[in-house]
Amino acid sequence: MRHTHGSVEVICGSMFSGKTDELIRRLVRANIAKQKVQVFKPAIDVRYAVEKVTSHAGSDFDAIPVKKAADIRAKLDADSTVVGIDEAQFMDADVVVIARELADKGIRVLVAGLDQDFRGEPFGPMPALMSLAERVDKLHAICMVCGDEASRTQRLVNGKPARYDDPVVIVGASEMYEARCRRHHEVPR
């Protein structure tokens, strides 16, 4: 089943906000609708399974790992009508061009990723993806300090907030990250 027109949908937010669960929910619905779905993820993300996108809650969906965004073109089946891209913040800037190309060809592109890095700054290609999207959903987690709505990702090193000059990309989960609200998000300089 082909769409009458393509689109880009971005699911963003902090870690533990349910981005991958929401991506998987939309992918499952596309499968139910008998649409041809393909999912891609950065090869750097090997936290749970190499050939699956997996949420922190444990749901998963088959995926193709790619080293660079341009690999999506080579691995895309001609009859795919829905393309999912998880952890898009780890993709190179070409992911923006590819998302636009796919949508222009009538493909529904579902993108999930962190909108901010641990510093609270825009993360990788996510701002550009959000600007070209027809739909953007920002999800929130729960602040691990006060229980309010959390929109930021706190990186911890030995239980203390990571410093601003620490590397931006370190793949991990609850052992080194937690969700925080604006008030409790800390980035010492």
Indicate which residues carry an active-site annotation.
87
Q: In 76-146, which residue ranges form alpha helices assigned H by DSSP?
A: 94-104, 126-132
Cα separation, 94 vs 118, whole angstroms:
23
The β-bridge partners of 156 are: 161
Tokens 């409790």 found at = 184
Cα separation, 120 vs 151, whole angstroms:
9
Tokens 């000059």 found at = 165
Phi, psi of 89 (to 5 degrees): -60, -25
The two three-digit tokens of residue 9, written as one number: 């949908």
